[in-house]
Structure 1
Amino acid sequence: MLDASPLSLSAADADAFLPPTALAVPAAADWRQTLKVGDIVSFRFPVEDLEGGPAKNRPYLLLEVEPTHAGPRITLAYGTTVHGGRNRGYEVRLSDPAVFREAGLHRPTRFIGLRRLTVSADHPGFAVCRDLGTPKIGRLAGAEFERLQAVRDRIHAEADIAADRRAERRREVAEDRARRSRAPARPFVVEVKRRRQVTSR
C-alpha cells in the first residue's frame, strides 16, 4: 500500500547507495526476521523510471516492522537525493559524508516519512544481495536515528487523532439513528367511508 504518490525517479536517485558487498553487513539465515526500525534496505522502486525503463533498486528506510501471523509487515520510507523544501516535518536527512556512508549511501539522501510503502517481508521488491543474502545495506545511528523516532512519533500521533475522529463520527451517526428510532410515530386518522347504495327506479 502506497500512502502517498511517489516522487519522480531520477538517475541520481538510482545511484544513491553503495553496493551491498562494500558494507560489513552480516549475513542472516532469514533476513526477514532480522529487519529492524532504522535499517536501510535496497528495494525496487515500484514504478518505471522517467525513460520508461524497468524499476530500479533504491534505498528505503524502515519505519515500522509489524509482526503478523503471516509474517512481518514492513513499512518503508522513500529515499531520494533530490533536494526539496516540502515534507520537512517528516524527513530524515543524511547530509554528513561520514553519516551517509555509514548508512550504506554515497550521496546525501533524505527519507520522506509521508511517502510510505507497506509490504510483506516476502515482497519481491526487496533486492537481496547474492553474496550477503540480505537486502540490508546499512542502518541509522545517533542523531539520525533520534530524528527517525521523532518522525515516527508524529506519524503515530496523527494516526491516533484521525482514528479518534472516525470513532467520534461513528458515534454521532449511531446516536442520530437511535434518536430517530425512538421518535414517536406521527398521529394518523382513520376515515371510514360508507358505500352508497344504488336504488333502482
Structure 2
Amino acid sequence: MLDSALTIFTMTEAWRDHVSHGDIVSFHFPLAEEENQGRPKARPCLILDVELHGGQRYALLAYGTTSRRRSNVGYEVHVRRRAEYLSAGLDEPTRFVGARRLLVPLTHSGFAICRSTGSAVLGRLEGAPFEAMNAVRGRIHAEHDIAADRRLRRRRGAQRGRDFTVERRTPQRAAPAGKAVQK
C-alpha cells in the first residue's frame, strides 16, 4: 500500500510560490507606537491578495491583532470561534484590520520564518471568516477601480479642455449718488 501523506506546500520552504489570499503569515508589521523599540514584533497577518509587479510577487497584508479596543478599525475580518482560529494556526481570537494594510514583496525580510517548517505561513482561513475576507477584498478592489476611473477622467479632462466656457467680466463700479451712468 502506498503511503500518501498530504503535503501542504505553503507549510514548506517553497511557501512563497504557493501562498494566496486567505493564508495567514507571521510578519513584523511596523507600527508607529513601536517605532523607538527597534524591530516590531511578529504578528499574524492575513494575505488579502498576491500581486505580480515587475516579475516579482507581492503580498497585500492586513494587520492582525487580538486587542478588543476599537483603535484599529475598518475592513475587519474576525476569527472568533475556537475551531476557526485553531484551524487558521492562531492561538486566540484574532481580528484582521484591512484598513491597516501593507504591500510587501514575498522576499521581504519582515516575514518571520518558522525554523521547523521553513515557512512564514501559520494557517489558512476557512468558512465564515474566509467569506468575510472575500467581502473585504471586494470592497477594496471596488474602491481601487473607482479611484482609477477618477484619475482617468481627470487626465482626459486635462487633455481635452473644459466642457464649458468661462466668461470673464469686469464688475461695474457703483456710480456715486446723483450721477447718471452712461452706457
TM > 0.5 fold call: yes
What whole-Å deviation, never above 9, does each CA across 1:124-146 have from its counterpart, x for those lacking one? 00111111010000110011111
Supply the distance in 2 between the matched residues of 1:128 and 1:89 (Cα, whole angstroms): 28
Equivalent pairs counted in the alignment come to 157
2:118 aligned partner? 133
- Whose strand proportion is higher, 1 or 2? 2
Supply the distance in 1 between the matched residues of 2:35 and 2:68 (Cα, whole angstroms): 18
SS at match of 1:113: strand
2:34 aligned partner? 49
Asked if the contact 1:89–1:151 (Cα under 8 Å) also holds between the matched residues in 2, the reply is: no
4+ runs deviating over 2 angstroms: 24-29, 45-54, 67-71, 84-89, 177-180
Asked if the contact 1:25–1:138 (Cα under 8 Å) also holds between the matched residues in 2, the reply is: no
Supply the distance in 1 between the matched residues of 2:109 and 2:74 (Cα, whole angstroms): 31
1:97 aligned partner? 82
Supply the distance in 2 between the matched residues of 1:74 and 1:51 (Cα, whole angstroms): 26
1:36 aligned partner? 20
SS at match of 1:123: coil
Supply the distance in 1 between the matched residues of 2:39 and 2:160 (Cα, whole angstroms): 52
Shift of 1:37: 0.6
Asked if the contact 1:31–1:134 (Cα under 8 Å) also holds between the matched residues in 2, the reply is: yes
Supply the distance in 1 between the matched residues of 2:90 and 2:13 (Cα, whole angstroms): 24
SS at match of 2:56: coil
Please, which moves more after superposition, 163-172 or 51-60?
51-60
Supply the distance in 2 between the matched residues of 1:51 and 1:95 (Cα, whole angstroms): 32
Length-normalised TM-score, structure 2: 0.76
Unaligned runs of 5+ in 1: 1-23, 181-201
What amino acid is aligned across from residue 72 of structure 1 in structure 2? R
SS at match of 1:132: coil
SS at match of 1:130: coil
Supply the distance in 2 between the matched residues of 1:33 and 1:94 (Cα, whole angstroms): 26
Q: 2:109 aligns with which of 124, 133, 158?
A: 124
Q: 2:154 aligns with which of 141, 159, 169?
A: 169
RMSD: 2.6
Length-normalised TM-score, structure 1: 0.69
Supply the distance in 1 between the matched residues of 2:111 and 2:73 (Cα, whole angstroms): 27
Rg: which structure is higher?
1
Q: 2:142 aligns with which of 157, 161, 170?
A: 157
What whole-Å deviation, never above 9, does each CA across 1:72-98 have from its counterpart, x for those lacking one? 111100001122447765110011122
Supply the distance in 2 between the matched residues of 1:73 and 1:106 (Cα, whole angstroms): 26
Unaligned runs of 5+ in 2: 1-6, 166-183
Shift of 1:175: 1.6
- The reply to whether residue 111 of structure 1 matches residue 77 of structure 2 is no
Shift of 1:101: 1.4
Sequence identity percentage: 48
Check 1:40–1:121 CA distance in 2 against 1; reply closer, same or farther (3 A cut).
same
Supply the distance in 2 between the matched residues of 1:120 and 1:43 (Cα, whole angstroms): 12
